[in-house]
Amino acid sequence: METVEKKLEPLRRKIKEQALLSQSLKSDCRRGEGWYELTPMQREAIDMIMREIAIIVTVEHTSPEAWFEIMTNARTVINTLEKKDDK
């Protein structure tokens, strides 16, 4: 009989891969010339989007939730920018 630890090992490997990819993507974004011109909310949205991308390509490629989270974060930034333009 398989132990719980052995059953969890593949998930641990995927989570480790996801974390490494997520941190790499976030680091790459911070090297962009315009990173510090973004608002804190925009930078956080990008961080969250990069995390969701890492999840999609390593763990949850068949689930729509991560895609929905990307859309939600992007839409939040768009709504804020549109309100700013209205002023």
How does residue 83 score in pLDDT terms, banded at 50, 70 and 90? confident
Q: What is the pLDDT of residues 25-65, one digit of tens each?
A: 999 999 999 999 999 999 999 999 999 999 999 987 788 89
Q: Cα dist. 56→16, 48, 59, 79 in Å? A: 14, 12, 6, 25
Q: Give the rounded distance of the alpha carbon of 63 from its chain centre.
A: 14
| Predicted TM-score (pTM) of this structure | 0.81
Read off the pLDDT of residues 3-26 as tens digits, 9 standing for 90 and up. Answer: 777 777 877 888 899 999 999 999
User: Quick check: 25 and 50 in contact, CB under 8 A?
Assistant: yes
